[in-house]
C-alpha cells in the first residue's frame, strides 16, 4: 500500500490530523494507496512556506527558474514508465494513453514554460515629446492551483509550471480521487533540488483542504480546473477578497460534420474525440451533428466502429479502460437511463461492462451512442463526462450552428468540412473558446486555452498564463 504524503517546504510530511483517504484503482475496484485528508493547518503551513520562499524565488533570474523547470521535465521523462503506470492505476485510463499523452505532456508543460518565461516581454507606450511608459510584470506571490482527476499530472503541471516560471510560489491541491502522480512529482522536485517552499502540494478533499486554500488571505490568485458548480463556489469565495481567478470548467462540446468532409479522417478522429480517456476529457465532442445527406452512412459506419472498440484491463491493448470511480460509473449510467426516458434510443452500449480476471470488480462502461434525443433535453445539455455521445442530423449550416450554440457551455467545438469559406464562417459563429477544424486535440501550447459561457473565465496557455500569474504595473517617466 502506497502512503502518500504532503509536500511542504521541501519535505514530505504526514497531515497534522493524521487522517488519510483511500485511493482506489478503478480497474480493479481495490484500494491501492492512501492520501492525506489534510485540513486547514496543513494548508496554513504550506502557504507560510510559500510566502517565506517567495522573496528568493521571485528575485532569482528567469533563467535560473527555467533551469529548475527543465530539470523537473528531464526527471519526468526519465521516470516515464513509473509515472505512466501510476497514472493508469490511479485513474483507470489505458496505460498506453498515459505513456503517450499524459506524462509526456506533463514534461512538455515544464519545458514549454521554461522557454516561455525566457521569451516573455512587456509593452512600452511612448508619449510623443512628453515621456514614456513601460509595463512591469511582477509575480503575484502565493498562487493556489487546484486540479481535477481526469488528466491528473497533465493538468496539475499545466498550472504549476507557468506559476513557478513567472516567479510565484505555489500551493497546489490535486484531486483527492487521483493523488498518486502529484506525490511522485513532489519526489521529483526534491530530486531536482527545487528550493524549499517554491512548490507545496497538499492532498485532501475539496470541501476541506480546497476550501482552506481558496479562503486563505495570503493566496493572491487561484487557478482552478474542474466542474462548473465548484468553479462558481470558488468565484464566490474569491471575489470579496479580490483574488485573481482563472477557471477552466465543464463542457458539452459539439462536433459538426458536413457531407463534404474528409470522411475517413473524420470517422477515425470522431472515435477519439468521443471516447478518448473514456470520454472523460472536458474537450470531448459529445454532441455529434451530421449533415442530413451523410447521416445514414455515418450512423451505420460509426456505430459499427464503436461496437468494435475494446473495453478492458488498462494494462492491455484496449481502447477504453475504467471510468474513474464507482460513483462516476453510476452517474454515467443514470444519464443513459435519463436519455432513454427523454426519448433517446441506444444504438450501441448503454450499460456497464464486466471484465474478467483481475478487473472483475472494476468500473467499466461500454461506449454508448444515442440517437433521437431532442437537443434541449437534459442528457443533451448537461455534462455526462463519460463514454456517451448523441447523434442527430441537420439540414443547413445555420441549423448546425444554432444546435451547436444551444448550450450553457462553450469550451470547444469540432468542425468537419473541406469547404474553406464555410470553415472560417462557422468557426467565427461558434460560441466556444477553441474551434478545431478537421482535427481534435491538436495542441500548440502557445495558444490561448479556455472557455466561454459556463465553461470558464480567463485563458491558460502561452503568454496568457504568464499574464495571469503576474500583475502589470505601469511606470510612467516624464522627460
Stretch that binds ligand NAD, among 4-12, 40-48, 140-148, 340-348 (CB under 6 A): 140-148
User: Helices (DSSP H) in 79-227: which residue ranges?
Assistant: 80-91, 95-97, 103-119, 152-165, 180-191, 211-215
Output the residue with the shortest Cβ distance to ligand NAD: 206
Q: Are strands 253-257 and 412-416 parallel, antiparallel or unpaired?
A: parallel
Judging by beta carbons within 10 Å of its beta carbon (0-12, 13-18, 19+), is residue 110 exposed, middle or buried? Answer: buried
C-alpha cell of residue 297:
452512412
- In the region spanning residues 430 to 469, those forming contacts with ligand NAD, defined by CB under 6 A, are 451, 456
H or E segment to which residue 464 belongs: helix 462-468
Q: Specify the residue, 94 or 451, whose C-beta has the smaller distance to ligand NAD.
A: 451
Count the neighbouring beta carbons within 10 Å of the beta carbon of residue 329: 21
Q: Is 150 in the site for ligand NAD (CB under 6 A)?
A: yes
Instruction: Select from 88, 175, 273, 390 the one that contacts ligand NAD (CB under 6 A).
Output: 175
| 76: contact with ligand NAD by CB under 6 A | no
Q: Is 379 helix (H, G, I), strand (E, B) or coil?
A: helix
> Interaction with ligand NAD in 369-428: which residues (CB under 6 A)?
383, 385, 411
x/- track of binding to ligand NAD for residues 296-335 (CB under 6 A): ----------------------------------------
Q: Which is nearer to ligand NAD, 267 or 452 (CB)?
A: 452
Please report, as residue ranges, which positions from 231 to 250 form the binding site for ligand NAD (by CB under 6 A).
233-234, 248-250
- Report the distance separating Cα 38 and Cα 202, nearest Å: 7
By CB under 6 A, which span of 100-108, 173-181, 261-269, 305-313 interacts with ligand NAD?
173-181
To the query of whether residue 145 is one of the catalytic residues in this protein, the response is no
282 assigned to active site: yes
Instruction: From residue 106, give the alpha-carbon distance in Å to each of 44, 200, 266, 353, 445.
Output: 27, 17, 28, 31, 12
Task: Specify burial of residue 217 (Cβ count, 10 A radius: 0-12, 13-18, 19+).
Answer: exposed
Among 87, 176, 313, 464, binds ligand NAD (CB under 6 A): 176
Residue 90 found at the interface with ligand NAD (CB under 6 A): no
DSSP secondary structure letters along 89-126: HHH---HHHIIIIIHHHHHHHHHHHHHHHHH----EEE
Q: How many residues bind ligand NAD (CB under 6 A)?
A: 31
Per CB under 6 A, 187 contacts ligand NAD? no
CA nearest neighbour of 171 among 202, 193, 210: 202
- Minimum separation from the CB atom of position 87 to ligand NAD (A): 15
Contact status: 179 vs ligand NAD (CB under 6 A): no
Active-site residue list: 248, 282
Residues contributing to the site for ligand NAD (CB under 6 A): 146-150, 155, 173, 175-176, 205-207, 210-211, 214, 225-227, 230, 233-234, 248-251, 282, 383, 385, 411, 451, 456
Amino acid at each position: 500500500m502506497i502512503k502518500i504524503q504532503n509536500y511542504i517546504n521541501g519535505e514530505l510530511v504526514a497531515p497534522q490530523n493524521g487522517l488519510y483517504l483511500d485511493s482506489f484503482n478503478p480497474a480493479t475496484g481495490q484500494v491501492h494507496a492512501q492520501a492525506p485528508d489534510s485540513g486547514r493547518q496543513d494548508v496554513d503551513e504550506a502557504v507560510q512556506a510559500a510566502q517565506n520562499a517567495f522573496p528568493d524565488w521571485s528575485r532569482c533570474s528567469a533563467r535560473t527558474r527555467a533551469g529548475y523547470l527543465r530539470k523537473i521535465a528531464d526527471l519526468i521523462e526519465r521516470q516515464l514508465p513509473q509515472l505512466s503506470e501510476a497514472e493508469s492505476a490511479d485513474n483507470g485510463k489505458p496505460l498506453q494513453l498515459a505513456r503517450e499523452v499524459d506524462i509526456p505532456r506533463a514534461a512538455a508543460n515544464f519545458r514549454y514554460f521554461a522557454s516561455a518565461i525566457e521569451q516573455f516581454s512587456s509593452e512600452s507606450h511612448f508619449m510623443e515629446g512628453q515621456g514614456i511608459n513601460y509595463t512591469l510584470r511582477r509575480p503575484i506571490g502565493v498562487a493556489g492551483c487546484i486540479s481535477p482527476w481526469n488528466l491528473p499530472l497533465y493538468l496539475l503541471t499545466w498550472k504549476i509550471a507557468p506559476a513557478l516560471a513567472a516567479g510565484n510560489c505555489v500551493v497546489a491541491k490535486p484531486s483527492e480521487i487521483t493523488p498518486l502522480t502529484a506525490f511522485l512529482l513532489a519526489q521529483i522536485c526534491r530530486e531536482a533540488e527545487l528550493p524549499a517552499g517554491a512548490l507545496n502540494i497538499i492532498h485532501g478533499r475539496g470541501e476541506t483542504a480546497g476550501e482552506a486554500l481558496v479562503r486563505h488571505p495570503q493566496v493572491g490568485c487561484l487557478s482552478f480546473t474542474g466542474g462548473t458548480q465548484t468553479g462558481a463556489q470558488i468565484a464566490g469565495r474569491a471575489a470579496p477578497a479580490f483574488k485573481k481567478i482563472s477557471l477552466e470548467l465543464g463542457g458539452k462540446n459539439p462536433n459538426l460534420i458536413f457531407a463534404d468532409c474528409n470522411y475517413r479522417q473524420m470517422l477515425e478522429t470522431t472515435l477519439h474525440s468521443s471516447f478518448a480517456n473514456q470520454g472523460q476529457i472536458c474537450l470531448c465532442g459529445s454532441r455529434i451533428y451530421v449533415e442530413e445527406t451523410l447521416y445514414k452512412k455515418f450512423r451505420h459506419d460509426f456505430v459499427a466502429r464503436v461496437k468494435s472498440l475494446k473495453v478492458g484491463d488498462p494494462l492491455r491493448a484496449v481502447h477504453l479502460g475504467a471510468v474513474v470511480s464507482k460513483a462516476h460509473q453510476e452517474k454515467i449510467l443514470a444519464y443513459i437511463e435519463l436519455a432513454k426516458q427523454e426519448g433517446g434510443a441506444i444504438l450501441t452500449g448503454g450499460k456497464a461492462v464486466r471484465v474478467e480476471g483481475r478487473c472483475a470488480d472494476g468500473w467499466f462502461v461500454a461506449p454508448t451512442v444515442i440517437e433521437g434525443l431532442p437537443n434541449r433535453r437534459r442528457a443533451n445539455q448537461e455534462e455526462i463526462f463519460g463514454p456517451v455521445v448523441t447523434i442527430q442530423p441537420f439540414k443547413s449550416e445555420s441549423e448546425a450552428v444554432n444546435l451547436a450554440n444551444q448550450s450553457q457551455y462553450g469550451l470547444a467545438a469540432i468542425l468537419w468540412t473541406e469547404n474553406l469559406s464555410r470553415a472560417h464562417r462557422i468557426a467565427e459563429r461558434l460560441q466556444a473558446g477553441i474551434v478545431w477544424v478537421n482535427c481534435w486535440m491538436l495542441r500548440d501550447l502557445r495558444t490561448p486555452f479556455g472557455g466561454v459561457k459556463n465553461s470558464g473565465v480567463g485563458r491558460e496557455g502561452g503568454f496568457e498564463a504568464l499574464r495571469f500569474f503576474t500583475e502589470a504595473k505601469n511606470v510612467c517617466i516624464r522627460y
